[in-house]
């Protein structure tokens, strides 16, 4: 293992047994912020560097930008055009929290693109659409994303476009197209597990009338956004919630989310693994330890893996007083994703992938 750790390049041959799980980044598209702005722009580069230096089983690739057509699966054309053409109003920019710039647009597109590519890799095994039923990798990640405050018609809270909403709708469309003509093929049900400390209000709003996407959000009750949007399952936590009570509530919420699907289990999950429930987060209000957050990730990933539900992770929020702590929590999330990927065991095996899909369809 030591030799693998020391290897400067990620030769695929080295990782036939241990990796890589795919991860997609957009951190080279840094947007200009005024001095003293509270958004931790450097976090994304630091996380990628930590992954590249210490996680040989994680292969990081730069994400492609999401197109207008892809964004339109979850956003109103007027909002896409306003962002793309730079005609957002000062009030709209204040609500997002970023000044408009061409780089802001590019970064927003790439951040959605990274979640699209992660979802496609998890579900079909190819990050660019190669068609055909594919073979699921089971797990893949976006090193950013989790922009769950973005609505169909506006951005909010550092979120311009909603990566998970766009990727969920796009994967449903690709699933339908790739499996056209396969007997018994069903539509793709999606489960969103949002454990960022803030409510996934934009996601809940976008999918409110869509029974094919189930949204679970567990968040601090007294935190932003102050007007919550009802999702399929919302779990509100008191200020100062610690590891033990949090994990207990999480287990119950996962039981309910998995049970609520009845006879039609989800075929794809999105996991927003926010680091902002941590006790030293500036915007969090909860008191989870790093070990508690790792246990949270482990439980979510194990549930999904044992149910054979492919998952795309987004890192979502993390605003530690010490940014190194936030980066280390998210690095650990990626490490656990790698472990879950290894346990998934279907990589590179078309037969196993098809068996998974067939199992899901029989179950549906």
Cβ-based nearer residue to Zn ion, 231 or 317: 317
CB of 196 to Zn ion, least distance (A): 4
CA distance 149 to 336: 26
Residue 38's CB is within 10 A of a number of other CB atoms, namely 10
Instruction: Please report how close the Cβ of residue 199 comes to Zn ion at its closest, in angstroms.
Output: 9
| Residue 178: CB minimum distance to Zn ion, A | 33
Residue linked to tokens 């919550």: 228
Strand order in the sheet with 21-25: 58-62, 21-25, 139-142, 311-314, 268-272, 190-194, 213-220, 233-237
CB of 317 to Zn ion, least distance (A): 3
Judged by DSSP in three states, 215 sits in strand
What's the min distance (Å) between Cβ of 229 and Zn ion? 15
| Size of interface with Zn ion, in residues (CB under 5 A) | 5
Nearest residue (CB) to Zn ion, 198 versus 308: 198
Q: What's the token pair of residue 109?
A: 């597109």
Q: Which residues ranging from 49 to 108 are in contact with Zn ion (CB under 5 A)? A: none
Between 275 and 309, whose beta carbon lies closer to Zn ion? 275
73 or 283: CB nearest Zn ion: 283
> What residues numbered 159-198 form the site for Zn ion, per CB under 5 A?
196, 198
For residue 317, state whether it binds Zn ion (rule: CB under 5 A): yes
Angle value at C-alpha 140, between 137 and 145, nearest 5 degrees: 155
Question: What Rg, from alpha-carbon coordinates, does the chain have?
Answer: 19
If the CB atoms of residues 198 and 285 are measured against Zn ion, the closer one turns out to be: 198
| Maximum Cα–Cα distance across the chain | 58
The residue nearest Zn ion at its CB is 317
User: What residues numbered 125-154 form the site for Zn ion, per CB under 5 A?
Assistant: none
| Minimal distance, residue 213 CB to Zn ion, in Å | 20
> Please, what is the minimum distance in Å from the beta carbon of residue 224 to Zn ion?
8
Region from 18-26, 54-62, 203-211, 276-284 binding Zn ion, contact rule CB under 5 A: 276-284
Tokens, residue 253: 């919420």
Phi, psi of 217 (to 5 degrees): -130, 130
- In this structure, the chain runs to a length of 364
118/73 Cα distance (integer angstroms) = 17
**CA 70-107-309 angle, 5° bins:** 55
Which of 46-54, 105-113, 317-325, 329-337 is the region at the interface with Zn ion (rule: CB under 5 A)? 317-325
Footprint on this chain of Zn ion (rule: CB under 5 A): 196, 198, 274, 276, 317
């Amino acid at each position: 293992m030591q030799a693998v750790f020391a290897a400067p390049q990620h030769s695929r041959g080295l990782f036939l047994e241990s990796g890589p799980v795919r991860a997609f980044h957009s951190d080279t598209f840094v947007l200009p912020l005024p001095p003293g702005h509270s958004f931790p722009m450097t976090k994304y580069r630091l996380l990628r560097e930590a992954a590249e230096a210490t996680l040989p089983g994680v292969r990081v690739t730069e994400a492609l930008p999401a197109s207008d057509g892809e964004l339109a699966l979850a956003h109103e054309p007027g909002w896409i055009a306003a962002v793309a053409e730079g005609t957002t109003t000062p009030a709209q920019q204040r609500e997002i929290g970023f000044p408009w710039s061409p780089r802001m647009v590019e970064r927003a597109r790439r951040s959605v693109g990274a979640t699209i590519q992660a979802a496609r890799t998890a579900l079909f095994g190819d990050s660019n659409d190669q068609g055909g039923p594919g073979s699921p990798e089971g797990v893949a990640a976006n090193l950013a994303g989790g922009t769950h405050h973005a609505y169909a018609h506006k951005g909010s809270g550092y979120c311009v476009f909603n990566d998970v909403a766009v990727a969920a709708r796009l994967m449903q469309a690709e699933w339908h197209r790739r499996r056209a003509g396969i007997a018994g093929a069903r539509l793709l049900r999606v489960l969103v597990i949002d454990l960022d400390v803030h409510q996934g209000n934009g996601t809940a709003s976008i999918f409110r009338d869509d029974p094919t996407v189930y949204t679970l959000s567990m968040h601090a009750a007294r935190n932003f956004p102050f007007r919550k949007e009802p999702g399929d399952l919302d779990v509100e936590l008191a200020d100062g919630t610690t590891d033990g009570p949090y994990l207990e509530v999480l287990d119950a919420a996962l039981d309910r989310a998995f049970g609520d699907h009845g006879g039609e289990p989800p075929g794809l999950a999105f996991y927003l693994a926010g680091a902002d429930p941590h006790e030293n987060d500036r915007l969090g209000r909860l008191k989870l330890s790093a070990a508690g957050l790792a246990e949270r990730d482990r439980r979510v990933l194990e549930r999904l893996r044992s149910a054979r539900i492919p998952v795309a992770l987004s890192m979502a929020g993390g605003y530690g007083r010490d940014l190194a702590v936030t980066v280390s929590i998210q690095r650990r999330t990626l490490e656990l994703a790698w472990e879950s990927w290894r346990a998934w065991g279907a990589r590179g095996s078309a037969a196993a992938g098809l068996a998974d899909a067939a199992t899901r369809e029989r179950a549906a």
